[in-house]
Structure formats: C-alpha cells, structure tokens
C-alpha cells in the first residue's frame, strides 16, 4: 500500500460515524440545556499561546506539541488543547464585555505527539466546555454536573469522579516546599522523569505511574492540608454543591492533572478499569490563565472529554445506539428508457423527503435485486419497458416479497404509506 494514515491518527469510516453523531448530538443538546454556546477556534495557533498556558515541565510544552514554521516565518502549533484558544478568543473578541460568566463549548480535533496506544492518539477529538468570568464554587459544581450528565445520558456507567483542590498561587508554594522536602529523602529511587519533575514541575511527581514513585507519592503530604483559608472555603462549598446535586465523588490527594494552568478545583472521570490513558475526561479551575495570556484577572473553570475514549467505553459497555436513518427506496431499471424514468422518479422521491438510491450501470434485474437485498433496503421500485408503456412502476416490499403496480403519479404517496 502506498499511503497510510499517519501513525496515531485514524479514519472515521461510515460504519463508525453513528457513534460520533450520537456523542456529538448529546454534547450539543446538553450544552444548550445548560446555556453553553458553541465556539470554534482555528486548528493552529501562535505556538506561544500553548507554551505560555502550559509552562515548562509539562509534557505538552516539552515534547507533545506539533510546532511548525509557516512560509512567513511565524512559529505556529496545531491545537494542543482547547482551553487556551477559547481564552485567547475571549480576550480577542472582548467577550469580557458580555454578562459573566460566559459559557462556551467546543468539539474539536486536538494534536499531541504522544506514543500511540489504545485510547491514546496523536490526533484525537475533544468535547470541552468553559465557564469564564466568575469564581463562584457553584460554577465548579455546574461544570462537574454537566460533565456527569453528559456521560450518564450517553448510557455510560461505572466511572468515578475524582476530586481535589490544588490551591492558588498564595498557598501552593508552601506545599511545593513540603513536597520537595518529602521527595528529598527518596531522590535516588525516583524514575528519570520524576528526577526532571522535581526540578521543573514538582506537582506532577504525584501523578507518576511508576510503581516505586507511586509508593513515594502515597506517603507525600496532602495538598489540601496546605490550602489557604479562601481555597479551603471554596473547596468546601464545591463539595457542598456536589452533595446537594447528589453527585458522588472521591477525594484524591494525588490528582493534579497534566496541564499546568489549574488552580483550586481539579477533577477527572475515571472508568473502574485502572490506567492513566483511560481517563474519560477531566478539568478544573484555571483562575490565572487569562491573566497569563494578557487579560485582567479572570477566574474560569472547564472540562474536556476525549471522544475516542468515550466511544471505546460505549463499545466495551455494549451500549446500543439509536439506528441511523437509512435510505428507504432502491430504484431498479431494466433498459435505457426505464433508466431515464428512474432517474426522474428518484428526484421526485427525494424532493418529497424520501431517502432514495438509484441503481447505476446496466446490471440484470436479478443482480440489482441482490444489491437492494444486501444493502438492506426495505422498499424497491422496479421500472422496465412494460411499466413505461403502462406509465406505472412495480413497488416491492422486500421483507414480504409482495409487489403492486402503482401509477407513476402515485408513487410518492404509495411509498409514504408502505414505509409508514
């Protein structure tokens, strides 16, 4: 074979599309229910946007971005995540002038140079939403509620909500000092990645999947003990709202998320099966990001889920989808004169809103009938020389094999009646 889809990317063939339509339609209708409006941002952005929003030491900034120089010499990056572009658009188009918070959602392709494996791709797609412009803890709960509502409405079950607060720029430095002093006693045992994390992004030490590093992380001090009074109160209220909403959660001291812009609330939905690449979706508050991108201090909170991972879960949980509307009528012709008539009839049926496919080429009646049968058409219309002379067509019900002659002028109403 000459060409293949690039490593870590997939073609979404027609037989897969019903999953995508199912997930995307649910996302859009729920966002409408919660007052989130759609936004689309470009596939590529100034590389500095992602570099600034996920500072040194995150995998995204260090090794995962698809960066390229365009012919004008500008350094660009394919969309590596959805939040920073939405914040950029919020600032660029003065959305801060609207009533706050501004609630936005997106369905977008995301590009990360990662080691491909099941559920981890170099191009994946996210459904994400952001509530920008308010620090109210009820907004954190609303975002979590919408995320959970989305997963449940798809029919998914068996996932847990992991929840943590990672504080703010006032209280986090004291925690980082405590964390580093804990790790100082274990420095020799750490994996090479964690050696780097100690220098560049200590919070991520808690997230390492290496067994020895996990043991060290298990005995690390818990960040929630270091939260300032404001962060503590905020987190308590988030939990209170979740309890009122009846949303169960597990407090998780080691949950820190992979991106660097988070403050206060962080959360993830994880299936019962273990494994980091299995996280269905995650998010949190990012109260400093808009300021870091050049705006005024603007608190915000959001979430994103990987659509491929959702579809993997739909398949493993055997969730059946509503069947997509299939074409109902297959038009068969016998001879060139009849073909002129079926082409015209097909157009008339489609004008009347009846999904129709016309046979092409010059195959025998038997072969055209086989085609209709194999493709599952419930209704077939046959036109031959005799039918042209009588100005009528044969309407065949494929499930029973019964046939009736219908005048050309009555085909639409006959098909509508026979197909219900």
Specify the residue, 126 or 368, whose C-beta has the smaller distance to ligand HAM.
126
One of 140, 260, 287, 308 touching ligand HAM (CB under 6 A): 308
Shortest spacing between CB 328 and ligand HAM, in angstroms: 37
**Is residue 126 part of the contact set for ligand HAM (CB under 6 A)?**
yes
Shortest spacing between CB 406 and ligand HAM, in angstroms: 52
Over the range 196-222, which residues count as b (16 or more CB within 10 Å of their CB) and which as e?
ebbeebbbbbbbbeeeebeebbeebee
Specify the residue, 209 or 344, whose C-beta has the smaller distance to ligand HAM.
209
* Burial class, 397, CB count within 10 angstroms (exposed 0-12 / middle 13-18 / buried 19+): middle
**Is residue 271 part of the contact set for ligand HAM (CB under 6 A)?**
no
Q: How many CB atoms lie within 10 A of CB 289?
A: 25
DSSP string, 263-282: EEEEEEEEESS--GGG--EE
**Is residue 302 part of the contact set for ligand HAM (CB under 6 A)?**
yes
**Is residue 90 part of the contact set for ligand HAM (CB under 6 A)?**
no
* Phi then psi dihedrals of residue 93, to 5 deg: -105, 15
Shortest spacing between CB 128 and ligand HAM, in angstroms: 5
**Is residue 114 part of the contact set for ligand HAM (CB under 6 A)?**
yes
Specify the residue, 297 or 335, whose C-beta has the smaller distance to ligand HAM.
297
**Is residue 283 part of the contact set for ligand HAM (CB under 6 A)?**
yes
Over the range 329-342, which residues count as b (16 or more CB within 10 Å of their CB) and which as e?
bbbbbbeeebbebb
240 Cβ contact list (under 8 Å, min separation 6): none
**Is residue 111 part of the contact set for ligand HAM (CB under 6 A)?**
no
**Is residue 83 part of the contact set for ligand HAM (CB under 6 A)?**
yes
Specify the residue, 153 or 403, whose C-beta has the smaller distance to ligand HAM.
153
**Is residue 142 part of the contact set for ligand HAM (CB under 6 A)?**
no
Contacts 24+ apart (CB under 8 A), 284-290: 284/166, 284/257, 285/135, 285/140, 286/83, 286/261, 286/262, 287/135, 287/168, 287/263, 288/168, 288/169, 288/261, 288/263, 289/53, 289/83, 289/84, 289/87, 289/261, 290/87, 290/90, 290/91, 290/132
Helices (H), 245-384: 289-292, 307-316, 336-351, 365-374
One of 36, 105, 106, 121 touching ligand HAM (CB under 6 A): 121
Stretch that binds ligand HAM, among 43-51, 81-89, 316-324, 406-414 (CB under 6 A): 81-89
**Is residue 279 part of the contact set for ligand HAM (CB under 6 A)?**
yes
One of 23, 44, 81, 198 touching ligand HAM (CB under 6 A): 81
**Is residue 258 part of the contact set for ligand HAM (CB under 6 A)?**
yes
Do the Cβ atoms of 302 and 286 come closer than 8 Å?
yes
Specify the residue, 265 or 342, whose C-beta has the smaller distance to ligand HAM.
265
**Is residue 108 part of the contact set for ligand HAM (CB under 6 A)?**
no
State which of positions 160-179 bind ligand HAM (CB under 6 A).
none
Stretch that binds ligand HAM, among 133-141, 189-197, 304-312, 404-412 (CB under 6 A): 304-312
């Amino acid at each position: 074979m000459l060409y293949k889809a690039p490593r870590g990317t997939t073609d979404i063939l027609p037989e897969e599309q019903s999953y995508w339509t199912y997930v995307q339609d649910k996302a859009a209708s729920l966002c409408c229910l919660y007052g989130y409006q759609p936004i689309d941002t470009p596939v590529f952005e100034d590389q500095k946007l992602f570099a600034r929003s996920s500072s040194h030491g995150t995998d995204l900034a260090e090794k995962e971005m698809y960066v390229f120089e365009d012919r004008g010499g500008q350094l660009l990056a394919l969309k590596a995540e959805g939040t920073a572009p939405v914040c950029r658009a919020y600032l660029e188009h003065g959305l801060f002038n609207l009533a706050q918070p501004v609630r936005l959602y997106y369905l977008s392709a995301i590009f990360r140079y990662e080691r491909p494996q099941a559920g981890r791709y170099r191009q994946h797609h996210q459904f994400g939403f952001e509530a920008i412009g308010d620090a109210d803890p009820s907004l954190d709960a609303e975002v979590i509620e919408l995320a959970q509502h989305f997963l449940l409405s798809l029919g998914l079950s068996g996932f847990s909500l992991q929840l943590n607060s990672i504080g703010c720029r006032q209280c986090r430095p004291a925690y980082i000092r405590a964390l580093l002093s804990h790790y100082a006693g274990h420095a020799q045992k750490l994996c090479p990645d964690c050696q780097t994390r100690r220098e560049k992004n200590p919070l991520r030490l808690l997230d390492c999947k290496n067994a020895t590093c996990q043991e060290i992380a298990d005995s690390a001090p818990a960040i929630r003990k270091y939260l300032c009074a404001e962060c503590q109160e905020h987190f308590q209220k988030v939990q209170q709202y979740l309890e009122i909403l009846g949303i169960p959660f597990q407090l998780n001291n080691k949950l820190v998320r992979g991106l660097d812009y988070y403050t206060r609330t962080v959360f993830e939905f994880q299936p019962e099966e273990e494994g980091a690449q299995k996280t269905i979706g995650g998010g949190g508050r990012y109260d400093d990001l808009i300021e870091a991108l050049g705006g005024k201090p603007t608190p915000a909170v959001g979430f994103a889920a990987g659509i491929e991972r959702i579809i993997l879960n739909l398949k493993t949980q055997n969730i059946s989808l509503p069947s997509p509307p299939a074409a109902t009528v297959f038009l068969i012709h016998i001879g060139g004169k009849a073909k002129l008539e079926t082409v015209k009839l097909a157009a008339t049926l489609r004008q009347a809103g009846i999904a129709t496919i016309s046979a092409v080429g010059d195959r025998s009646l038997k072969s055209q009938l086989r085609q209709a049968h194999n493709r599952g058409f419930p209704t077939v219309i046959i036109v031959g020389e005799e039918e042209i002379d009588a100005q009528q067509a044969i309407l065949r019900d494929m499930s029973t094999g019964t046939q009736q002659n219908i005048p050309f002028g009555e085909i639409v109403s006959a098909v509508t009646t026979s197909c219900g």
